Structure 1
Amino acid sequence: MVQAEIKTTFEAGPVTFTARHELWDGNIQDHADQGVSIVVQAEVNGEKTILLRFNCFDIERSYIYGPENPDLKSDGPMMLAGRTENSTGMGKMYRMDPTADGNPIGWTMKTIKKQLPEMLDRAGYPEIAKEIDFEVLADVVPELEASARELFVAKRNTVKHNRGTDIFEAGNIRFGLEMRRLPVGDGGLAIHVLTDVGGSTEKSFVEETEIMAFDLFWDGPHYHYGPRNKNHRIYWDRTLV
Structure 2
Amino acid sequence: MGHRGWAAPPLASPANCAMLEGGQGPLDAFLAVKEGELPMADDRGVTHYDLMPIPPIEAQTRFFKANPIVIGVEYRLLDEEIAASSETATARGSDMGPGAGMDDRGVSLHVYAVEGGEKLEHLRFDCFDEDPHYHYVSWKDRTNQMVHIDVAAVGDPVDWALDCIGTRLPQMLDRAGAEETVKKLDLIALQTILPRVTEAAYQARFNSDEQAVRISALGEMD
What TM-score results when the alignment is normalised by the length of structure 1?
Answer: 0.52
1:69 to 111, 135, 139: 139
The residue aligned with 1:52 is 123
Deviation sequence 1:2-33 (CA, Å, 0-9, x none): xxxx9821111200001111111246534101
The residue aligned with 1:149 is 202
The residue aligned with 1:195 is none
The residue aligned with 1:9 is 63
How far residue 60 of structure 1 moved from its aligned partner, in angstroms, is: 2.5
How far residue 47 of structure 1 moved from its aligned partner, in angstroms, is: 2.5
- 1:102/1:15 CA distance change after superposition, 3 Å: same
SS in 2 for 1:20: strand
- Letter of the aligned partner of 1:53 in structure 2? R
Q: Report the Cα distance in structure 2 between the residues aligned to 1:156 and 1:38, rounded to whole angstroms.
A: 18
Q: Report the Cα distance in structure 1 between the residues aligned to 2:81 and 2:71, rounded to whole angstroms.
A: 29
Q: Report the Cα distance in structure 1 between the residues aligned to 2:156 and 2:163, rounded to whole angstroms.
A: 11
Aligned ranges 1:109-148 → 2 under 5 Å: 109-148=162-201
How far residue 158 of structure 1 moved from its aligned partner, in angstroms, is: 6.0
1:103 to 156, 179, 187: 156
The residue aligned with 2:73 is 19
How far residue 46 of structure 1 moved from its aligned partner, in angstroms, is: 4.1
Contact 2:78 2:103 in 1 (8 A): yes
Deviation sequence 1:180-233 (CA, Å, 0-9, x none): xxxxxxxxxxxxxxxxxxxxxxxxxxxxxxxxxxxxxxxxxxxxxxxxxxxxxx
Q: Are residue 38 (structure 1) and residue 114 (structure 2) matched?
A: no
Q: Report the Cα distance in structure 2 between the residues aligned to 1:69 and 1:63, rounded to whole angstroms.
A: 16
Deviation sequence 1:103-133 (CA, Å, 0-9, x none): 1110011111001011111110111011112
Aligned ranges 1:192-207 → 2 under 5 Å: none
Contact 1:7 1:147 in 2 (8 A): no
Structure number with bigger Rg: 1
RMSD: 2.4
The percent identity for this pair of structures is 33
What TM-score results when the alignment is normalised by the length of structure 2?
Answer: 0.56
Q: Report the Cα distance in structure 2 between the residues aligned to 1:7 and 1:24, rounded to whole angstroms.
A: 15
The residue aligned with 1:235 is none
How far residue 69 of structure 1 moved from its aligned partner, in angstroms, is: 2.1
Contact 1:35 1:156 in 2 (8 A): no
The residue aligned with 1:226 is none
Q: Report the Cα distance in structure 1 between the residues aligned to 2:131 and 2:115, rounded to whole angstroms.
A: 28
Listed as ranges, the gaps of 5+ residues in structure 1 are 1-5, 72-88, 160-241
Contact 1:8 1:147 in 2 (8 A): yes
How far residue 44 of structure 1 moved from its aligned partner, in angstroms, is: 2.7
How far residue 43 of structure 1 moved from its aligned partner, in angstroms, is: 2.4
